[in-house]
């Protein structure tokens, strides 16, 4: 059977061919267009006249709304453990881990949509990828000095950046530009962009091996160019190697801590890729549709979060030594509003998965899973539209961003209890924590 995306593209093409013929533009429509244009010109003339007369128009529209729950101590001291949360209104909000307080948000610029963040291993700089409004979607990466929480001059990258990763030595950040089918390397020492590297069609995520030698970019393909691939990039020369084909449309990638295998979760299976030879091994059928993947710190088990239809959300453990699937664990009744996410504590004892809260419409929860026994613990209700989860390096707290609620919920991992949500402004999404 043809791949699902090819079938959908073909069906929509056929259907579009059945659309009616374009009717002529009616005289009434022409009149309405002319009237609107005249009104627009008249309005612009009035604005110019008013401004030249010194009238301030719409000053209230320029006033920035007060940010809720901002700590008066807005300047972080050097390398205090901090979580950086990307917001929907072009901001990055630092959260001080020790006190669970939001600091003053860092503004990226008007009408910018932040979408991905990565922090250098030394914790000194956070790199935030964002894009401007359409149709150009001009992409930039803003370095943020974490000692002072100040934004440095943005680095121009390709259009519509959607993912970012930094090499373990902290020297290069790689930014994925989905509309341009490229990856832009940034030298962190000088914050300058190097020439973009062409990868497969519609790249969407990136992961770098622990030795820093290879970056793997998953590409989902476009309607014209369908192949689903993972493209390896040799970081020493910043050159793309031959793409490795995987089965379905890839959604997520994770690399084992020993760097030997990259696991690519697509919409029907998980494909292990041997990094030494860049060859795809036999796909692992998880029998459900994986949306996210994470690997334990000891590298022994990979966990996929899956959509299981009427059975809700499941987590499937995969034994990496044999690439075999263990019994799936049911973690939630229905799919959360956003894509489910998973994070594993540094000691590997617990995996935290975002799910829908049982019995509560539009309310999300986090379900802890004891990895030793593959058992789900009672879900912890968080906020609405939960979309990202990150765990502090000491493993004591998991933070969950709630896009619809505009909050971040800290979870104490020792007791698996939610703390008071932290207000961070509109639409928080991605997040990263300093080491």
Partner 1 sequence: MSDSSAGDRLGALYARHGPDALRLAYLLTGDRELSEDLVQEAFIKVAGRLTALRRADSFRWYLRRTIVNLANSYLRHRRVERAYAKGLIGSAAGAGVSSPDMATKHAVREAIAQLPARQRAVVVLRYYEDLTDQQIASVLGWPLGSVKSSLYRATAILREHLGQEE
Residues that bind partner 1 (CB under 8 A): 1, 3-5, 7-16, 18-20, 22-23, 25-26, 29-30, 32-37, 40-41, 88, 113, 115, 131, 133-135, 137, 160, 162, 178-179, 202, 204, 222-224, 247-249, 251, 267-269, 289, 291, 307, 309, 335-339, 387, 403, 427, 429
Distance in Å, CB of 85 to partner 1, minimum = 13
Residue 26 Cβ vs partner 1, minimum distance, rounded to whole Å? 6
Alpha helices, H only, 53-198: 59-62
Q: Provide Rg for the chain, Cα atoms.
A: 24
Q: How far is the CB of 254 from partner 1 (least distance, A)?
A: 17
CB of 334 or CB of 374, closer to partner 1 = 334
* C-alpha of 208 from chain center: 16
Under 8 Å CB-to-CB from 125, ≥6 apart: which residues?
A: 119, 143, 144, 145, 146, 188
Q: For partner 1, which is the closer residue by CB, 96 or 228? A: 228
The least CB distance from residue 329 to partner 1, in Å, is: 19
Here the tokens at position 68 are: 């809720």
Structure tokens at 108: 């990226």
Residues with Cβ < 8 Å from 57, sequence gap 6 or more? 47, 50, 51
C-beta closer to partner 1: residue 40 or 75: 40
Residue 94 CA to residue 85 CA, distance in Å, equals 6
What's the CA gap between 365 and 357, in Å, rounded? 5
Helix (H, G, I), strand (E, B) or coil at 198: strand
Any long-range contacts for 175-182 (C-beta under 8 Å, 24+ apart)? 175/116, 175/129, 175/139, 175/141, 176/116, 176/203, 176/204, 176/205, 176/206, 176/217, 177/139, 177/203, 178/202, 178/203, 178/204, 179/137, 181/219, 182/158
Q: Least Å distance between CB 415 and partner 1?
A: 29
CB of 147 to partner 1, least distance (A): 29
Kindly state the smallest distance separating residue 153's Cβ from partner 1, in Å: 23
- Tell me whether residue 48 or residue 152 sits nearer to partner 1 (CB atom): 48
Question: Positive or negative CA dihedral for 100, 106, 108, 111?
Answer: positive
User: What is the DSSP track for 51-66?
Assistant: HHTTPPPSHHHHSPPP
Nearer to partner 1, 167 or 219 (CB): 219
Identity of the residue, 256 or 266, whose beta carbon is nearer to partner 1 in the bound complex: 266
C-beta closer to partner 1: residue 207 or 305: 305
Closest to partner 1 by CB, 101 or 307: 307
In the complex, minimum distance from the CB of residue 375 to partner 1, in angstroms, rounded to a whole number: 25
């Amino acid at each position: 059977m043809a791949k699902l995306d090819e079938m959908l593209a073909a069906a929509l093409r056929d259907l579009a061919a059945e659309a009616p013929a374009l009717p002529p533009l009616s005289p009434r429509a022409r009149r309405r267009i002319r009237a609107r244009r005249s009104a627009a010109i008249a309005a612009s003339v009035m604005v110019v006249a008013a401004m030249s007369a010194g009238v301030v128009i719409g000053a209230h529209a320029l006033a920035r709304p007060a940010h809720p729950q901002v700590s008066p101590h807005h300047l972080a001291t050097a390398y205090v453990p901090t979580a950086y949360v990307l917001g929907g209104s072009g901001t990055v909000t630092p959260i001080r881990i020790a006190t669970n307080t939001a600091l003053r948000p860092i503004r990226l610029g008007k009408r910018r949509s932040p979408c991905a963040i990565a922090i250098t291993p030394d914790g000194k700089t956070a790199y935030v990828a964002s894009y401007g409004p359409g149709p150009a979607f001009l992409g930039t990466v803003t370095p943020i000095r974490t000692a002072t929480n100040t934004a440095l001059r943005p680095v121009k990258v390709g259009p519509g950046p959607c993912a970012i990763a930094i090499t373990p030595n902290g020297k290069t950040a790689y930014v994925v530009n989905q509309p341009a089918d490229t990856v832009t390397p940034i030298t962190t020492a000088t914050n300058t962009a190097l020439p973009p590297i062409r990868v497969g069609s519609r790249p969407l995520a990136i992961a770098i091996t622990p030795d820093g030698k290879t970056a793997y970019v998953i590409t989902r393909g476009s309607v014209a160019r369908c192949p689903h691939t993972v493209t390896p990039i040799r970081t020493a020369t910043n050159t793309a190697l031959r793409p490795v084909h995987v089965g379905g449309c890839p959604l997520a990638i994770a690399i084992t801590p020993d760097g030997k295998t990259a696991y690519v979760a697509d919409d029907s299976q998980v494909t292990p890729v041997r990094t030494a030879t860049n060859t795809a091994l036999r796909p692992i059928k998880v029998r459900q549709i994986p949306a996210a993947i994470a690997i334990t710190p000891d590298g022994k088990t990979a966990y996929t979060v899956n959509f299981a239809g009427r059975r809700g959300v499941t987590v499937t453990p995969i034994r990496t030594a044999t690439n075999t699937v263990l019994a799936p664990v049911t973690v939630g009744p229905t799919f959360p509003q956003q894509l489910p996410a998973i994070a594993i504590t540094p000691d590997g004892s617990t995996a935290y998965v975002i799910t829908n809260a049982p019995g509560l419409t539009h309310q999300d929860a986090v379900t802890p899973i004891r990895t030793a026994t593959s058992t789900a613990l009672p879900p912890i209700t968080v906020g609405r539209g939960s979309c990202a989860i990150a765990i502090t390096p000491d493993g004591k707290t998991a933070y969950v961003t709630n896009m619809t609620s505009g909050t971040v919920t800290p979870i104490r991992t020792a007791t698996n209890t939610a703390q008071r949500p932290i207000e961070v402004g509109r639409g928080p999404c991605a997040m990263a924590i300093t080491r």
